[in-house]
């Protein structure tokens, strides 16, 4: 048998221990809740996709709209008209200028008719005399000037213009391009030009009585 009072002290001790344990559990749960909750006044960190900047989400204005010229504006440069190069062939022409250093001739292409063709052309052009004098007719409607390069090996001959040199207007006389440019009233003569790939390969004066 236990001593008197021993059982009472034991129950008191057990009760006290249980109270302490209960108090400790309550404190532990409160501390755990406090540690899980964010501190007062502190915002929580939430992971979310980065927001797009306005420049990325908004389409840029079309550059064409901002740089387009108004109808009243003058273009920066005006394209120049180009004279068409003569196709391969043989042409009657007046030589209006010679640049021997650059080997260029400026010509006015015409139509040269002889015999019956001259009479027909003169009548079509309402010439004052049909058939025309000396049996040839020159038709020139465009007066378009063309500048062509002369090949270094191109033969150049004169006859009527070279009469003061040869003594005969019917004799062909070969000259250089430089000498051709030195004749007075050069544009009064008619020359036959042979053209190959846009280059003059032969110049020959047409005899006219």
CATH code, domain with 161:
2.40.50
DSSP string, 51-108: PPPHHHHSPPPPHHHHHPPPTTSPPS--PPP-PPPPPSEEEEEEEEEEETTTTEEEEE
Residue 27 inside a domain? The answer is no
Beta-carbon count within 10 A of 87 CB: 10
Domain count within the chain:
1
Quick one: CA torsion of 182, 183, 187, 190, rounded to 10 degrees? -120
* pLDDT bucket at 3, cuts 50 / 70 / 90: very low
User: pLDDT tens digits for 44-90?
Assistant: 333 334 444 433 334 444 444 444 444 444 344 444 444 558 999 99
pLDDT band at 191 (very low <50, low <70, confident <90, very high): very high
Q: Is residue 53 part of a domain?
A: no
Whole-angstrom CA distances from 34 to 23, 28, 46, 123 are 17, 10, 20, 122
Could you tell me if residue 196 is inside a domain? yes
Domain that holds residue 200: 89-110+145-205
Is 96 inside a domain boundary?
yes
Percent of the chain with pLDDT over 70: 60
Q: Is residue 177 part of a domain?
A: yes
Encode pLDDT of 12-37 as tens digits. 554 554 444 444 444 444 444 344 44
Q: Residue 182 falls within a domain, yes or no?
A: yes
- Indicate whether 188 belongs to any domain: yes
The predicted-structure confidence for 91-114, as pLDDT tens digits, reads as follows 999 999 999 999 999 999 999 999
- Asked if 205 contacts 187 with a C-beta cutoff of 8 angstroms, the reply is no
Rg of the chain in Å (alpha carbons): 55
132 lies in a domain?
no
């Amino acid at each position: 048998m236990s001593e008197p009072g021993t059982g009472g002290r034991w129950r008191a001790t057990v009760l006290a221990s249980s109270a302490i344990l209960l108090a400790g559990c309550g404190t532990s749960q409160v501390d755990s809740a406090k540690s899980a909750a964010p501190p007062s006044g502190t915002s929580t960190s939430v992971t979310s996709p980065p927001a797009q900047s306005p420049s990325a989400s908004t389409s840029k204005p079309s550059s064409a709209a901002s740089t387009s010229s108004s109808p009243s504006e003058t273009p920066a440069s005006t394209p120049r008209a180009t004279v068409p190069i003569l196709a391969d062939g043989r042409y009657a022409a007046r030589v209006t200028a010679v640049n021997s250093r650059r080997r260029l001739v400026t010509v006015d292409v015409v139509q040269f008719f002889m015999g019956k063709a001259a009479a027909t052309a003169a009548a079509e052009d309402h010439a004052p005399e049909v058939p025309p004098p000396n049996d040839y007719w020159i038709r020139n409607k465009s007066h378009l000037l063309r500048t062509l390069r002369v090949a270094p090996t191109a033969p150049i001959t004169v006859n009527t213009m070279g009469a003061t040199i040869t003594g005969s207007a019917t004799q062909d006389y070969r000259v250089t391009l430089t000498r051709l440019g030195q004749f007075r009233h050069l544009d009064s003569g008619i020359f036959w030009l042979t053209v190959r790939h846009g280059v003059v390969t032969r110049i020959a004066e047409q005899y006219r009585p």
